[in-house]
Amino acid sequence: MSVVLQDPLHENATRLDEPETDVRRDLDAPRLPADEVILLEFVDESDPSGTVGTRTVFGGFLVSLLLHVWLMMNLGGWLLPESVEALEPVLETTFAEKVIHQEIEDAIPFELANPDDRELEVREVTNAMSLGLAVVENVPKVAAPAKQLLDEARVDLARLPAYDVPEGLKFDDRLVVKGSTGEQMVQIESALDRVTWEIAQNLQESKLLVVWLLDGSGSLKTQRDAVAKRLRRIYGELGALDNTSTIPRHEKGLLSSVVMFGEKTNFVVKPTDKFEDVQEGIANLPTDSSGVENVFTAVKQTVNLWSSYRSEQHRRIMLITITDEAGDDFGKPHLEAIAICRRYGAKAYVIGPTSPFGQRRGFVPYVAPENGRTYQIPIDLGPEAPMAENVSLPFWFNGPQYEYLSSGFAPFGLARLVSETGGVYFLTNMTTMAGLAPIGSFDEATLRTFAPDYSFGEINEFAKDIRKHPLRACVLNAAQMSQRFKIKGAPRLDIRVAANNFRQTATEAQKDVAESQYMLDAMLQAFPPGIEKQLEREPSLRWRMAFCLNYGRLLANRTRNLEYNSLLALMKTSLSEGDINTRSNHWIFHPSPDVKNSGVASKKGAQLAVDLLNRVVTEAPGTPWAIMAARELQHPLGIRVEERFIPPPPPPAQNKAQAAPAKPRPLFVPEPTKQAPRTPPPKPPVLPKL
């Protein structure tokens, strides 16, 4: 094999197989410049085919071929028409609604007690939110001045943590499940049957301490008697479950106790497994005459006193509270009661009344045995929210006033106690609900959408959140003003006048609506112009309907007041004494679809009121909001007057016949008689404090 030095710039090539001297001679020769470097290639002389050149030519051909193919493909792509269809794949999104299967509670497959042994006849249960018993006319006004709930219920206690971990071994790792705040209206016997089921369910999992907390007020005496009679059936059913091994056998698995609360908490029966002691304790409960119901204080003291049954004996605690009022200690005791219940895993169950719609107070009719007269005693039943959310306004013309309409919800404090501890609130017909106007029934599913927000334990936190929402702030400000300044009812709609006093009579009627107009204008200042444009920004359906109802009712009342006032002013100037004596001495005011007496601004306000109220009827059917809005829309907002003439009675006829002279009679001095002592007026009855 020989190595050839090839130089494309020189014809002669030097062979490396020549003698060594020649090689040295060549090495000693002067070097070529850098641009004349000699290329080296090893050639195998024994290869006659010349594969070196062949490989070089084939490699160049391959590179050229690939280059031309690449150019043809790219140039051909420019000439191809664009594809009609999109190159990117179409993304399709499908939504599958998760079907929620409602589990039906398993009924106990055997008879727990003899049906013939019922102490009380179970009455038919009314539907859902059917509230009240009878229409009440001439509802009295509450004499006590209304106060702002913000000032009354303000709490200085810092917000307690959701899960308070106690010291030592008193730790409960149970997760608190939100409770039910009232789903249907039941009689107290049916509520007690449901409580029996709840007790049995808990006994299947753990030992149990049941605490009966009963309101000691006089208005609840009938319900306490019903509970005492029902207890034998309740504990009889639980005993039947124990005998059939449905409930695991524990040593004293069920303990019960009795607590009465009023102004103070009275621990009547300590935890015991003897049914007779519990029944006797409830049957002999005294009546608390203070008129104060500190229910949250009683809950806190009860759990604190008997917490060792949870921490040491590992018993669950069930608090069964029976009351007919909302409680007088909402605030710090309310927060502390919830905190200690959650600390020890105690569940609160309440059998109680419903709250009046947008009102704090209700009333109870009381017949005094001293004189047989009926008196209306005010009581605290609400409101159903942290603060009253409705303005207090009268309805005009014929129809119910709905001043004490049921809300369909429990009082806020008791409902929050149940919600935060995982219990159940049973709406029950109580004596204290006799003053609520009956409506029929509300739709349960719809009412759940309008439930209040139970996350606020303090009023100042609730008020702080309200300030973030303009519509809510408008509603609450107007509602608070209506509580402080009570508007009078509808003005006189049937007026009889005489020629000598018709202007004065009309002026007196105008004074009433002028006073109401002043208060209405003050409330309407809480609603800035154009505030209704922010309706769609409000996320809560409850607050949207509250805004539409209250703002619409305020505008409707303002329109009617202006129409009435303007119409009376027109009649004072257009009628004369001769007209009164001949054709117009009886004025009857009727609703009219035309708003024409009070100007263009009043027409615009009337149209806005109708639009807002119609929205409530459309978007909230089957609710108290819709009932109030429909009542306001029952009559149009304009007013017309019907003028009648009642002829005056004729003067008494004079008897022209002369009366015969009286015959003289002898006069005798009457014998003196002893006057009977005057009967002193009866003393006013002492009204009970409920």
For residues 16 and 59, the answer to whether their CB atoms sit within 8 Å is no
DSSP SS3 for 342: helix
- Give the pLDDT confidence score for residue 270 in this predicted structure: 96
Contacts 24+ apart (CB under 8 A), 119-125: 119/229, 119/230, 119/232, 119/233, 120/189, 120/226, 120/229, 120/230, 122/187, 122/189, 122/190, 123/187, 123/189, 125/184, 125/185, 125/186, 125/187, 125/190
What single-letter amino acid sits at 106? D
Q: How far apart are CA 324 and CA 191, in angstroms?
A: 14
Residue 382 tokens read as: 């609400």
What single-letter amino acid sits at 493? L
- Give the pLDDT confidence score for residue 545 in this predicted structure: 97
Q: How far apart are CA 435 and CA 355, in angstroms?
A: 11
Residues 6+ apart with CB under 8 A from 109: none
The three-state DSSP-derived secondary structure of 430-477 is CHHHCCCECCCCCCHHHHHHCCCCCCCCCHHHHHHHHCCCHHHHHHHH
pLDDT digits (tens, 9 = 90+) for 624-638: 999 999 999 999 999
For residues 424 and 202, the answer to whether their CB atoms sit within 8 Å is no
**Residue ranges of the chain with pLDDT lower than 70?**
1-59, 74-184, 240-250, 431-441, 653-660, 662, 667-669
Taken in order 322, 328, 330, 332, the sign of the CA dihedral is negative
- Give the pLDDT confidence score for residue 53 in this predicted structure: 52
Is-cis flag, bond preceding 140, omega within 30?
no
The values of phi and psi at residue 261, to 5°, are: -125, 150
Q: How far apart are CA 419 and CA 452, in angstroms?
A: 11
For residues 535 and 545, the answer to whether their CB atoms sit within 8 Å is no
- Give the pLDDT confidence score for residue 241 in this predicted structure: 61
- The gap between the terminal CA atoms of the chain, to the nearest Å, is 128
Radius of gyration of the chain (CA): 46
pLDDT digits (tens, 9 = 90+) for 322-355: 999 999 999 899 999 999 999 999 999 999 998 9
What's the half-sphere exposure (Cβ side, CA atoms, 13 Å) at 489? 13
- Percentage of the chain surpassing pLDDT 90? 46
Q: How far apart are CA 138 and CA 375, in angstroms?
A: 12
Residues 6+ apart with CB under 8 A from 138: none
DSSP SS3 for 365: strand
- Give the pLDDT confidence score for residue 242 in this predicted structure: 61
The count of other CB atoms within 10 Å of the CB of residue 6 is 13
Q: Which of 413, 332, 303 is nearest to 158 (CA)?
A: 332
